[in-house]
Structure 1
């Protein structure tokens, strides 16, 4: 394991890349994983070296995953699941198209898993020629019934990308939020994938849409298992981020001035700046 965790900023370049190139740069070694029981047959598979959470619902009729990390992590994820169930993975829901959330699709599909994502996420994967393109797409809302349990998929507005979904486990009152929410050391900065249709202006609305659902526990795309209150606080942060950027751009502040603010007040790092600063400024003009 790495001597210190990569931050979300270090991973940022991978998030905007296709699965193969992302894996080559940031997933060259399988992650060391940890399995954490969250509630009532819902587990989180997490790791320190390359942050990114996989949610697993275990049922007597099979397993449902939310996100599946990089392709190279597939064997370790399957091994982790086998410590709690012998059932196969029936479904994987990708919260968006980035390779650290969908890179394991192809290997799972080869075993019979059905991959599900938003219409926009699939279009982005096709455009990037990513492997493991979803078998089923969701335009707005959908539900999967597996082993007597219900899983709801809700498309939200533009935020991290234009294809973000959140996944609700209503009986357990757990929400897997994907990358519209990150919470934990080194993960709080908003990375807007402008090439993937993301929006800092609309991000607060997307989080508000998620907050319309009924849940107590939130599994972020990156970071630590959190609470509803944590997501509410994060929404306030996204509002402040958008308001600050609008003010800076309206005042005609220079690129360097804006960069200094997003670094000092919103935890942006080099990769955030390289990938998204120009898009951010253009969005608020």
Structure 2
């Protein structure tokens, strides 16, 4: 492990990002044979395969371990170059966030940093908040917004705050489909808008609002937070949405809350790899975390007590 070549680690990261030798070669501005050679050297040093040569290729468990090292090494190189006043290498900074946070408070949080760091190649990857931590575990990202409270080994975790969710419908849907309101007798026949197959927020809300266990609900899948909101406004069904996202629509009378007292609180945490900075200056990854934490303190409800 002491003599691993940084260029070979860059090669492994490019293979993970691009999913092919051709894409990695284009990313690194080298030939495909050079990519293959660097990978072979790395695999020889470790004595095990690092990628599964498929379409698209994927990393082996050993490759995922080295990918984490590659991501951290790249981030530290950028921080060292900034501290020394050297030209900054272009760094892809992959961060995993949940779609609802991306649609509400994450972009404002990162705006000043993105405007300041001209060479920052930020990559925001979207997944359900209960699954983003897996991206961090396998080295695909350097940080994530997650509902997981406990940090992974080698990582730190900070409480961001709580996003409460409620159920909302358009006034037309309420008048046509729910003149007597939503209750145990009609909930199974009402369409709920759902983000994707991982999304169980609608079930969690029904369980909390009506004390029903494992309800079987009619679902209409809309895999985009913005389109999800639009589908709710158009009367496609009941949307279980973050209060932060619907506040303006409620004030304009475009949406109506169902059982407003029934809310699902979702506590969010920022997880990141712990990188040792070459100086007292905060590394770029730390600055991203600080920006997210500051915005979350403004937009989210206070985090739960430790």
TM over 0.5: no
Greater helix proportion: 2
TM-score under structure 2 length normalisation: 0.25
* Higher RCO (CA < 8 A, seq sep 6+): 2
The structure whose Rg is larger is 2
Greater strand proportion: 1
